[in-house]
């Protein structure tokens, strides 16, 4: 069984994540998931859009 966590983000980050999702026609869950993956892998440099795009 998967374990789910809840994260809290501020309004500015939410707006930025939403913008990236709309620009790329992705669900917000994909954007957040990719951002968290990059954070866990230590790759948190560059713009927000670059952080969540596929390499």
Query: Considering its fold, how many domains does the chain have in total?
Result: 1
Please give the pLDDT value at position 8: 79
Please give the pLDDT value at position 18: 92
**33 domain residue, yes or no:** yes
Please give the pLDDT value at position 22: 95
pLDDT beneath 70, residues of the chain: 43-55
Please give the pLDDT value at position 48: 63
**36 domain residue, yes or no:** yes
**4 domain residue, yes or no:** no
Please give the pLDDT value at position 55: 45
Please give the pLDDT value at position 14: 86
Q: Which long-range contacts (CB under 8 A, 24 or more apart) does 46-50 make?
A: 48/16, 48/17, 48/20, 49/20, 49/23, 49/24
DSSP-based three-state secondary structure for 36: helix
């Amino acid at each position: 069984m998967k374990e789910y966590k809840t994260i809290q983000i501020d309004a500015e980050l939410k707006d930025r994540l939403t913008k990236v999702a709309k620009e790329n026609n992705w669900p917000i869950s994909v954007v957040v998931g990719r951002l968290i993956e990059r954070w866990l892998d230590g790759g948190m440099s560059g713009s927000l859009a670059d952080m969540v795009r596929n390499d």
